Amino acid sequence: MRMAFLLGKLVTLAFWLVVLASLIGLIEVPDPQRLNWIALAVLAIHLIEWLLMRAQLSKLGDPLQQFLLVMLFGVFHLKAPATRKALFQAL
């Protein structure tokens, strides 16, 4: 299970790196407008996830760090075994 979450985090990180590289012009993508819309949708989904979970995440420590991790990894941070264990211990 941990490998699945690690793989998910790596794929998500790769996605954001491609979006960033495309935005600053380091790489050329076939349809940059579609990539930008997908990135915006993923960003909105991650923001909704953070809004729904912010009370629980505030118990894990630095709220800014938790916000950034959710915005970067989304559900792969929220449902990761280490995060879930820490949430249950904080409750």
Question: Which pTM value belongs to this model?
Answer: 0.82
Q: How far is CA 27 from CA 17, 35, 39, 47, 72, in A?
A: 10, 12, 16, 27, 20
pLDDT digits (tens, 9 = 90+) for 37-85: 999 999 999 999 999 998 888 888 889 999 999 999 998 887 877 777 7
CB–CB of 5/83 below 8 Å?
no
* Burial group, residue 39, by CB count within 10 angstroms (0-12, 13-18, 19+): middle
Q: What is the DSSP letter of 31?
A: -
